[in-house]
Amino acid sequence: MRFKDVFSIIGPAMIGPSSSHTAGAIRLGRVARCLFGSRPEHADITFYGSFADTYQGHGTDLAIVGGLLDYDTDDPRIPTSLDGAEEEGMDVTFRTSRTPAPHPNTARMNLKGGGRELTVTGASIGGGNIEISSINSFDVKFTGMYPTLVLSHEDRPGMIADITAILRIWNMNIGYMDLDRKSRNGEAMTVIEVDSPISGKLAEQIRSIGGMQEVGVVDLREGES
């Protein structure tokens, strides 16, 4: 099921004019911001497909930057997010690409800051709903509408068991889980959607697993009214 609940149909509450080009773009930006963990210093954004054709008319640029600043879909500051970015010291560049993307409304965000770099690609699939398809060249698939753990770790035996053991202690039910790896015994990325909110403490415990590199937590619904 691409659309999982009633609020993916009725909602979000948003600033117009386009759910795909505005609300979806904000959510794409917010997911990248959550994964980066703080405000990036540089954001390089590439638009594909219909985003590339009409991003200015719909304010997709303003929306995605608003998302990177952690604005919600109905934040009245969206129309002036570029000023917001300047005030907060985030510099932004936009490009368009003609490379065919799997979905007509796709954006790729490359974020840098504090010596770190992150690349997130995702699509706006309609009604403000999104699908993240790649993080740092790992293939992933999640919507951000459930509490989601995005874990980068060593690809070693027992890693998944260690992760699920902690989730079990916290009595967390897993709704979806997916692992992608670059090569055998190399790096891997695991995405886990759970049914209840992920606390800071839980994220800390997962971070302390041997071989865990990064722990990202995404939960768009919690921030939204």
Partner 1 sequence: MRFRTLQQLAALCEAEGKTIADLMLEEQAKESGRSPEKEWSTMASYYGIMKEAVRKGLTEDTTSRSGLTGLDAQRVNTYLGSHEASVGEEACRAMAYALAVSEVNASMGRIIATPTAGSCGIIPGVFVSAQERFGWDDDHLVKGLFCAGAIGYVVANNSFVSGAEGGCQAEVGSAIAMAAGAMTELRGGTPSQAVHAVGLALKNTLGLICDPVGGLVEVPCIVRNGFGAVNALAAADMALAGVRSAIPSDEVVTVMYEVGSAMPEKHRETAKGGLAQTPTGKKIMSELNLRRKKP
Which spans of this chain sit near partner 1 (rule: CB under 8 A)? 1-20, 22-23, 49-50, 53-54, 56-59, 74, 76, 78-79, 104-105, 125-128, 195-196, 221, 225
Query: For residues 40 and 59, which CB has a smaller minimum distance to partner 1 in the complex?
Result: 59
> Residue 19 and residue 124: Cα distance in Å, rounded?
9
Query: For residues 9 and 169, which CB has a smaller minimum distance to partner 1 in the complex?
Result: 9
Query: For residues 111 and 129, which CB has a smaller minimum distance to partner 1 in the complex?
Result: 129
Edge-to-edge strand ranges of the sheet holding 116-126: 91-97, 42-48, 105-113, 116-126, 129-135, 138-142
> Residue 23 and residue 130: Cα distance in Å, rounded?
9
Smallest separation (angstroms) from partner 1 to the CB of 144: 14
Query: For residues 89 and 102, which CB has a smaller minimum distance to partner 1 in the complex?
Result: 102
Strands 91-97 and 42-48: parallel
Query: For residues 75 and 187, which CB has a smaller minimum distance to partner 1 in the complex?
Result: 75
Query: For residues 54 and 152, which CB has a smaller minimum distance to partner 1 in the complex?
Result: 54
Torsion of CA 178, 183, 188, 189, to 10 degrees: -50
> Residue 72 and residue 81: Cα distance in Å, rounded?
12
Smallest separation (angstroms) from partner 1 to the CB of 22: 7
The contacts of residue 57 (CB under 8 Å, 6+ apart) are: none
Smallest separation (angstroms) from partner 1 to the CB of 201: 19
Smallest separation (angstroms) from partner 1 to the CB of 218: 16
Smallest separation (angstroms) from partner 1 to the CB of 167: 15
Identity of residue 57: G
> Residue 33 and residue 20: Cα distance in Å, rounded?
19
**CB neighbourhood size of 8 (10 A):** 19
Smallest separation (angstroms) from partner 1 to the CB of 27: 12
